[in-house]
Amino acid sequence: GTSVAIITPQTQAVRWRDDGTNPTASVGYPLSVGAELKYDSAAIASLKFIEQVASAAINVCYYGPN
């Protein structure tokens, strides 16, 4: 039932993909520390992240339909 996710890297930059392919430390859409990604695509179940540098952490809030 998730329709929106708000994602913010906390400690290190990350990369993400939503096309079914795993991101790598150098391939995928970059998201820097403190940047906010508001993700509201139907592909939310395919969303994957990887850290660009060891010890990355992300904060995620999920929201369902209104």
**What pLDDT sits at residue 66?**
65
| Per-residue confidence in pLDDT tens, the chain, 66 aa | 789 999 999 999 999 999 999 999 999 999 999 999 999 999 999 999 999 999 999 999 999 986
The pTM of the full predicted model, rounded to 2 decimals, is 0.89
Strands of the sheet containing 29-31, edge to edge, are 29-31, 14-17, 48-51
**Cα–Cα dist 62/2, whole Å:** 6
- Using only C-alpha atoms, what is the Rg of the chain? 12
**Cα–Cα dist 18/12, whole Å:** 20
